[in-house]
Amino acid sequence: MEELKKEFNSQYGESTEKDRLFFSPGRVNLIGEHTDYNGGYVFPCALSYGTYLIARPNGKNSIRFATTNFDYNSEVSLDQISKKHGDEWINYPLGVINQLIKKGLEPTGLDLLYSGNIPNGAGLSSSASIELVTAIAFNNIFELGIGMQDLVKLSQNAENEFVGVNCGIMDQFAVGMGEKDHAIFLNCDTLDYELVPFRLKGLKLVISNTNKRRGLADSKYNERRAECDKAVEILSQKRSIRNLSELSYSEFIDMQDVITDKIIKKRAKHVISENQRVLDAIKELKNNNLAMFGELMNASHESLRYDYEVTGDELDAMVDEARKVEGVLGSRMTGAGFGGCTVTLIKEEAIDNFKEAVAKGYEKKTGLKPDFYVADIGDGTKEITDNE
What is the spatial distance between Cα 164 and Cα 176, in angstroms, rounded to a whole number? 21
Q: Provide the pLDDT for residue 80.
A: 96
**How do residues 136-153 score in pLDDT, each as one tens digit?**
999 999 999 999 999 999
CA 369, CA 360: separation in Å to the nearest integer?
9
d(CA 49, CA 38): 28
CA dist 317 and 358 (Å) reads: 9
CB 340 within 8 A of CB 210: yes
Q: End-to-end alpha-carbon separation of the chain, Å?
A: 11
**Residue 173: band (very low, low, confident or very high) from pLDDT cuts 50, 70, 90:** very high
Residue 77 has pLDDT above 70, yes or no: yes
The overall average pLDDT reported for the chain is 94
pLDDT at 311 over 70: yes
| The pLDDT of residue 298 is above 70 | yes
Catalytic residue, candidates 111, 171, 307, 316: 171
Instruction: Output the pLDDT for position 119.
Output: 76
Q: What is the DSSP letter of 19?
A: P
Segment 366-374 mean pLDDT = 96
**Would strands 328-334 and 371-375 be described as parallel, antiparallel, or unpaired?**
unpaired
- Give bridge partners of residue 372 from the DSSP assignment: 208
Which residues are paired to 377 by β-bridges? 47
Question: Is residue 387 over pLDDT 70?
Answer: no
Q: What percent of the chain is modeled with pLDDT above 70?
A: 98
Q: What are the pLDDT digits (tens) for 117-138?
A: 987 766 788 899 999 999 999 9
Helix (H, G, I), strand (E, B) or coil at 106: coil
Maximum CA pair distance of the chain? 71
Cα distance between residue 278 and residue 303, in whole Å: 13
How many beta carbons lie within 10 A of that of residue 193, not counting itself? 16
pTM of the model: 0.93
Per residue in 216-263, pLDDT (tens digit) is 667 788 899 999 999 999 999 999 999 999 999 999 999 999 999 999
φ, ψ for residue 38, nearest 5 deg: -105, 15
Strand pairing report for 110-116 and 62-67: parallel
Q: Read off the pLDDT of each residue in 80-84 and give the average, rounded to a whole number.
A: 96
The confidence score (pLDDT) of residue 219 equals: 77
Q: Report helix angle 290-306 to 262-286, nearest 10.
A: 170
Report how far residue 356's alpha carbon sits from residue 343's, in angstroms, rounded to the nearest whole number: 16
15: pLDDT confidence band, cut at 50, 70 and 90?
confident
Q: What angle do CA 237, 239, 244 make, to 5 degrees?
A: 95
pLDDT tens for each residue of 31-60 = 999 999 999 999 999 999 999 999 999 999
Q: Which domains does the chain have, with CATH numbers?
A: 2-198+378-384 (3.30.230.10), 203-375 (3.30.70.890)
* pLDDT, position 218: 72
Counting residues of the chain whose pLDDT is more than 90, the rounded percentage is: 86
The C-alpha atoms of residue 75 and residue 58 are separated, in whole angstroms, by 12
Question: Rounded CA gap, 178 and 29, in Å?
Answer: 12
Asked if the model's pLDDT at residue 25 lies above 80, the reply is yes
Contacts of 54 (CB under 8 A, 6+ apart): 4, 5, 8, 19, 20, 21, 22, 112, 113
Alpha-carbon dihedral 92, 94, 97, 98, rounded to 10 degrees = -110
Which is more confident, 118 or 78?
Answer: 78
Specify the pLDDT at position 348. Answer: 97
pLDDT of residue 115: 97
Q: How far is CA 235 from CA 34, 199, 202, 222, in A?
A: 19, 40, 45, 20
Helix (H, G, I), strand (E, B) or coil at 228: helix
Active site residue 171: yes
Cα angle value 109/111/112 (rounded, 5°): 125
Q: How far apart are CA 383 and CA 65, in angstroms?
A: 19
Question: H helices within the chain, ranges in order?
Answer: 2-12, 91-102, 126-141, 148-157, 170-177, 217-235, 249-255, 262-286, 290-306, 313-323, 351-366
Is the pLDDT assigned to residue 380 strictly greater than 90? Answer: yes
> 3-state class of 44 per DSSP?
strand
Q: How confident is the model at residue 17 (pLDDT cuts 50, 70, 90)?
A: confident
pLDDT band at 199 (very low <50, low <70, confident <90, very high): confident
Distant-in-sequence, close-in-space partners of 169: CB < 8 Å, separation ≥ 6: 36, 152, 153, 156, 188, 191
Quote the pLDDT of residue 99: 98
Q: What integer pLDDT is reported at residue 167 of this predicted model?
A: 79
- Asked if the model's pLDDT at residue 386 lies above 80, the reply is no
